[in-house]
Structure 1
């Protein structure tokens, strides 16, 4: 059994890896903002490259494992906090902390539900389904993205999930840096600014993708 400290460190390391992966995923998906014809072929070529690269495959397995460990570890920590924390402790936290820091379990659950839906719509269909091929012979992931992002309800779910992600990242990065002992008092302000800025930019950037496609792509 892992100690509480070990669980927190595992939570930090998997969380920081996932936060870094979000940046890589975000940069790749920026191609969706290109003119439609260019985005179509370029995005599919990019997806084909990722699916055939052995290094990327190894990273993807680390990603899947990190998601699972982060979710399980988060659940275990949340349950333990519920058991050990009384009304007095909750009230004290309520006065001293932000609402999202007290509801990381709920935010994490919402993000996990979104990930299941997201994986089913894109990753599962791309890997195990029979998507059409584009003019270059690559699996046409772009067409799948367009089809999904033409559904207003999915766009709404996506945007709301990015709001949850933003708050989850703001607290998660802040907490991870402190737990790992990197939170030097001299640089506390800059850690907050950088972490918050990163969280907002990534979340807004992802949220704009389905909105852009919904309103501009036919």
Structure 2
């Protein structure tokens, strides 16, 4: 591999790390907003719809949302380019021996990433698209009633299962992503490895469990009320 290819690979990995870290930050904010769904129904409805209305009407949030969309696209395209480049290089120069030392989720980031991408398509279609372009009913405060749409979506057990499995795929993706980003950005130093490991595991578990528990809670507590 020549210097130009090495530089190109380093730039792609750095871009992957930076977009990934931004998406990690967004996940924290998104989770904190969604945790309102765990409140008692009437309180959750008012709080969640007000929160959604605030986000949709704030110019700063709109700018951040455009950065988010760009980050998702760049992250996915960059991952595809890196994967294709790695396969080409491995096939040309060496036999891939990572199976003996790497974690299974590290070897299957492409599969995990694809599952997450499929989930995002459904997630954007069912919630983001409905809120932006659908004719949602209004709640008592005059805000679009996204809460009712979310609750209705989690009345089907298969949708809840799909959501939960997608969150576990996301958790493993994050776990590998943190270590990979640390290496790409040059901060995976022996002095900080233990701290990075603890933070990565803690963050990945918190995001996975935090998001997964929401549809499970809604299905278990409000499924009977809707049926």
- Within the candidate set 209, 214, 217, 1:204 is matched to 209
Corresponding residue for 2:40?
35
Name the CA distance, whole Å, in 2 between partners of 1:77 and 1:58: 28
The yes-or-no answer on 1:157 pairing with 2:157 is no
Unaligned runs of 5+ in 1: none
Count of matched residue positions in the alignment of Structure 1 and Structure 2? 217
Q: Distance in 1 between matches of 2:21 and 2:85?
A: 22
| Among 163, 170, 176, the residue aligned to 2:175 | 170
Counterparts of 1:13-24 in structure 2, within 5 Å, are 13-24=18-29
Query: Matches of residues 53-64 of structure 1 in structure 2 within 5 Å?
Result: 53-64=58-69
**1:216 corresponds to which of 215, 218, 221:** 221
Q: Distance in 2 between matches of 1:152 and 1:139?
A: 25
1:7 aligned residue: 12
Instruction: Say whether 1:137 aligns with 2:119.
Output: no
Q: Which range moved further: 9-18 or 184-193?
A: 184-193
2:35, 2:155 → 1: CA distance? 18
Distance 2:167 2:127 in 1: 17
Taking the aligned partners of 1:76 and 1:106, their CA distance within structure 2 comes to 15
Q: For residues 180 and 112 of structure 1, what CA distance do their matches in structure 2 show?
A: 25
Q: Distance in 2 between matches of 1:68 and 1:6?
A: 16
Shift of 1:85: 1.2
The answer to whether the aligner puts 1:94 opposite 2:99 as a matched pair is yes
Name the CA distance, whole Å, in 2 between partners of 1:140 and 1:213: 16
Q: Which consecutive residues of structure 2, in runs of 5 or more, have no partner in the other structure?
A: none
CA distance in 2, matches of 1:68, 1:184: 30
Q: What is the alpha-carbon root mean square deviation over aligned residues?
A: 1.4
Give, in angstroms, the shift of residue 89 of structure 1.
3.1
Q: Secondary structure at the match of 1:3?
A: helix
Match of 1:124 among 129, 133, 136: 129
Partner SS, residue 191 of structure 2:
helix
Corresponding residue SS for 2:152: helix
Matches of 2:116 and 2:174, distance apart in 1: 11
What is the TM-score normalised by the length of structure 2? 0.93
TM-score (norm 1): 0.97
Q: What is the CA–CA distance in structure 1 between the aligned matches of 2:65 and 2:220, rounded to whole Å?
A: 31
Give the CA deviation at 1:88: 5.5
Question: What is the distance in 2 between the residues matched to 1:10 and 1:89?
Answer: 27
